[in-house]
Amino acid sequence: MPHPHSDEDIRMTNRRDFLAAAVATPLAGGAESAAEPAAPPPSRILREALPLNLETPLPRLGATTATADHFVRSHFPAPSVDPATWRLRVEGAVQKPLELTLADLAKLPTSTRRITLECAGNSRVYLTPKVRGVNWSHGAVSTAEWSGVALGAVLDLAIPTGNAVEVVLEGADSGVVLDEPRSPGPISYARSIPLAKARRPECLLASRMNSEPLSVQHGAPLRALVGGWYGMASVKWLTRIIVVDRPFDGFWQTMDYSQFDRVAGVPTLAPITAMRVKSVITSPVDGQRWSDGVIRGVAWAGEHAVAHVDVSLDGGANWIRATLAGPSRPLEWVEWSASVKPPRGAIRLMARAVDAAGQSQPLTRDPDRRTYQINHVIPVDVVVE
């Protein structure tokens, strides 16, 4: 069976990626009609062109995010991968090391899952004082339908040995990290997850997104999807799976994407894992004149469902229960709304979600989380006429 990506597809997608990035800047408006007459106009906010970092605008948070609206987070320029010569190697603590082609993977059963990905640095612009790193507003989060084979099915073919504890996922992209602490020369993007998580059904090796072949910016021809975890674990441009018999200490889970855990009060660095419960108010927006009394937003809680969302009109003194748009499920966000009768004048709106495990969004920032996992309540100030 021919693979959906020809070389031409990859080049085309690269060109589209470039144009999407270009038209996302206000100065370059007007280019979209010439490039892609049928596609909806690109809406994303350009945070960085090389490597490509694009943010989903607030009004597009909710429901399934169209691929043209889905945020993009890349640490290095997208690698050029030829699907014809591409291989996925599975090695390390396994009985049968493997080298799989896309045709080999296509023979395995596939499934489709709706998964919310949030970058661990989402909402970073709201940290005070200002910190280093991409200054995302609330839009480094999106929800897509991802299709592919279960990571567990591929591990079953390779047969991890009895002492295996983690699975390292490595991408084809690499480069030098220039911020301090610098990397020791070029390093590839790699991240590990526990073997038990890797065998769960929400861990996919995805080749399709929203019923279309994966685009280059989202990791073509194959990426990992680690449902319920912050986006850093969902390695794009996947080329190698290494089963390991001791915890992996790579750059992207020690220097980067780590938090301080306390062991008897002593801070110790630990990799960031599952997404924490969070809600975002999508309407009204900060600084807006507001009249209809309807507050809307989205909420998600990683491996848990959202139990409920409360809103406050008085800076957190009193809370009113919001209505979820449908049943909340683990791994994906849920839309919510509340109709309230606000007093006139300047008021401070807040939303706070609680997950099915009883965890509540904090009201203040925990510095042990460094510059990641920003899920404390961030108020929205509006004027009611």
Ligand X SMILES: Nc1nc2c(c(=O)[nH]1)N[C@H]1C(S)=C(S)[C@@H](COP(=O)(O)O)O[C@H]1N2
Yes or no: say if 205 and 151 are a contact pair by the CB < 8 Å rule.
yes
Tokens of 14: 């690269």
Residues between 101 and 130 that touch Mo ion (CB under 5 A)? 119
- Minimum CB distance to ligand X, residue 257 (Å): 7
Stretch that binds ligand X, among 125-133, 227-235, 288-296, 371-379 (CB under 6 A): 227-235
Is residue 119 at the binding interface for ligand X, with CB under 6 A as the rule? yes
For the chain, report the end-to-end CA distance as a whole number of angstroms: 62
Single-letter amino acid code for the residue at 179: D
Collect all residues with Cβ–Cβ distance below 8 Å to 244 and sequence separation of at least 6: 92, 93, 164, 165, 166, 167, 168, 192
β-bridge mates for residue 99, sequence order? 89
**What is the x/- site pattern for ligand X, positions 265-304, by CB under 6 A?**
----------------------------------------
| Best CA proximity match to 177, nearest among 230, 254, 118 | 254
* Residue 307 contact among ligand X, Mo ion, none, beta carbon within 5 to 8 Å by kind: none
- 219-278 positions binding Mo ion, by CB under 5 A: 231-232
CB 188 within 8 A of CB 132: no
Region binding Mo ion by CB under 5 A among candidate stretches 70-78, 194-202, 270-278, 326-334: 70-78
Q: How far is the CB of 78 from ligand X (least distance, A)?
A: 9
Q: Which of residues 78-117 bind ligand X (CB under 6 A)?
A: 117
* Shortest distance in whole angstroms from residue 330 CB to ligand X: 19
Among 235, 313, 349, 380, the residue binding ligand X under the rule CB under 6 A is 235
What is the DSSP code string of 45-78? EEEETTTTEEE--GGG-SSSPPGGGS-EE-SSPP
Instruction: Give the count of beta carbons closer than 10 Å to the beta carbon of residue 56.
Output: 24
Q: At its nearest, how many Å lie between ligand X and the CB of residue 271?
A: 13
Q: Does 73 bind Mo ion (CB under 5 A)?
A: yes
Q: Which amino acid is at 272?
A: I
Decide if residue 5 touches ligand X (CB under 6 A).
no
On whether the CB atoms of residues 370 and 275 are closer than 8 A, the answer is no
Specify the residue, 78 or 100, whose C-beta has the smaller distance to Mo ion.
78
Determine which residue in the list 197, 218, 240, 352 makes contact with ligand X, applying CB under 6 A: 218
Which CB atom, from 173 or from 303, has the smaller least distance to ligand X? 173
Q: Which is nearer to ligand X, 234 or 312 (CB)?
A: 234
- Interface residue with ligand X, options 24, 46, 58, 72 (CB under 6 A): 72
Q: Cβ of residue 121: shortest distance to ligand X, in angstroms? A: 8
Q: How far is CA 106 from the centre of its chain?
A: 25
Q: For residue 368, which of 261, 256, 276 has the smallest C-alpha distance?
A: 261
Cα(233)–Cα(119) distance, rounded to whole angstroms?
10
Q: Does residue 14 sit in helix, strand or coil?
A: helix
- The interface region with ligand X, picked from 66-74, 98-106, 290-298, 315-323 by CB under 6 A, is 66-74
- The b/e string for 350-372 (b: 16+ C-beta within 10 A; e otherwise) is bbbbbbbeebebeeebeeebbbb
Residue 136 interacting with ligand X (CB under 6 A):
no
Beta-strand (E) ranges in 245-357? 258-263, 266-271, 278-283, 289-290, 294-300, 306-312, 320-321, 323-324, 334-339, 345-355
Closer to ligand X by CB, 62 or 284: give it: 62
With CB under 6 A as the rule, give the number of residues binding ligand X: 18
Site for Mo ion, rule CB under 5 A:
73, 119, 231-232
Site for ligand X, rule CB under 6 A:
70-75, 117, 119, 171, 173, 189, 218, 231-232, 234-237
